[in-house]
Amino acid sequence: MKPSEGGYELAPGLRDLRMASIATSGGGDGWGIRLAEENVRAVAEFAGAGKGFSSLLVPNAHSEQGVRESNTALTERARAFGKELAS
DSSP letters spanning 7-45: EEE--GGGGG--EEEEEE-SS-SSHHHHHHHHHHHHHHH
The mean per-residue pLDDT over the stretch 61-78 comes to 82
pLDDT at 1: 45
What is the number of structural domains in the chain?
A: 1
54 half-sphere exposure, CB direction, 13 A CA radius = 14
Question: Is residue 53 domain-resident?
Answer: yes
Question: Is residue 10 domain-resident?
Answer: no
Question: Is residue 7 domain-resident?
Answer: no
- Above 70 in pLDDT, residue 71? yes
CA distance 85 to 10: 22
pLDDT at 29: 80
Tell me the whole-structure pTM to 2 decimals.
Answer: 0.73
Question: Is residue 6 domain-resident?
Answer: no
Question: Is residue 9 domain-resident?
Answer: no
pLDDT at 27: 84
Instruction: Read off the pLDDT of residues 18-65 as tens digits, 9 standing for 90 and up.
Output: 889 999 988 888 888 999 999 999 888 877 777 789 999 998 887 777
Tell me which residue range forms the domain holding 24. Answer: 15-86
